[in-house]
Amino acid sequence: MSLKSFSNTTVLFYPKGSPNLRLFALWYFTILMIVWNVLGHTVLGFEQSWLAPLVGVGTALCMQFFLEWVDARANQRELRFAGGAANVLNFLPAAIIPGFACAMLLYPNKRLWPIAFAVALSIGSKVLFRAPVAPGRTQHIFNPSNFGVAATLVLVPEVGFAPPYHFTENLVGLWDWVLPGVVLLTGVIIHSLFTGRMPLVLAWVLGFALQAQLRAFIYGVPPLVPLTPMTSAAFILFTLYMIPDPATTPLNPRRQALFGFSVAMVYGCIQVMHLVFGLFFALVTVCAIRGISLQAYFWWKARQLSPSMTAAAAVGR
């Protein structure tokens, strides 16, 4: 797919389509990623090198600015980051977030190129994989960070997922609960007041618990065992900062609930097949199905409108 609609990022992410709410949420996620990575490498116990987030963010910014320049040239329009310091600053969060996320979630040992590779895929996916959401408007269908991580885990088998324990490895006592609790509370607030994605989050959590109990019943394991992933900081991050991505999920609350529940059910199927990295692959799968469905729906609508438009043009003659 061409770069034509790369700059036509929908503003319908949040209630009433307020650009201020959109920017607030983007900057909130950006600040969270910065703080989380700084604390991770100094206090929490992140095991990647300090160069990992620097390479991740640097690659993301280069890709973001390059693709924007190419798209602006192709469509003969002004650059989105032109016109002042505010435009430059507000152009950065969409790159910074996946840059930090890929560096935080992947563990390539001493190598840095897999992180750059994952980040390049993340930013590039916003251009390559798009679907119509309204006449004349398209939307990228994959959460960039999730797509980059999932694709790298498949294409570069020697790269692994960062160990979940390292998010709170060096915390002891009450801090084991305080830090995840703060992340959980702030995430709930941001999705309740700014993104409108709480139906999706709740459906995902309930669906996860349901598939966990179904698997426990079928395979005769203690009911708490398949629920243990829900206690990790990694699960909280995925639940509040990856799966409810406003740019790649439905607006309608019922469709949000269906989306979140579907991710949980696909995750359950992946676990039954004994495949690893189920969270990432489940989200990629549901996003792909949604994208294909949107393409098919708008293609069908266009086919339905074509005969009536032809007839109207004939009458006009």
Residue carrying the six token digits 């199905």: 289
Continuous segment of H or E residues that includes residue 208? helix 198-219
Under a CB-based contact definition with an 8 Å cutoff, are residues 93 and 29 in contact?
yes
**DSSP three-state, residue 160:** strand
pTM for the whole thing? 0.85
Closest CA relative to residue 91, chosen from 28, 23, 29: 23
For residue range 12-25, what is the model confidence (pLDDT) as tens digits? 333 434 556 777 88
Q: What is the mean pLDDT of residues 208-232?
A: 92
The pLDDT value given to residue 12: 36
Under a CB-based contact definition with an 8 Å cutoff, are residues 102 and 149 in contact?
yes
d(CA 17, CA 13): 6
For residue range 102-151, what is the model confidence (pLDDT) as tens digits? 999 999 988 999 999 999 999 999 989 999 888 778 889 999 999 999 99
Domains of the chain: 15-308 (1.10.3430)
d(CA 45, CA 66): 34
Strands (DSSP E) contained in 26-146 are: 106-107, 130-134, 137-140
Q: Which residues are registered as beta bridge partners of 87?
A: none
The pLDDT value given to residue 310: 47
d(CA 136, CA 8): 10
Token pair listed for 193: 């007041």
Q: What distance, in Å, lies between the first and last C-alpha atoms of the chain? A: 36
Cα 44 to the chain's mean position, in Å? Answer: 23
The pLDDT value given to residue 102: 94
Local confidence band at 308 (pLDDT 50, 70, 90 cut-offs): low
Percent of the chain with pLDDT over 70: 90
Amino acid 316 reads G
The pLDDT value given to residue 18: 53
d(CA 307, CA 125): 34
The pLDDT value given to residue 306: 66
Q: What is the mean pLDDT of residues 96-101?
A: 94
**DSSP three-state, residue 9:** coil
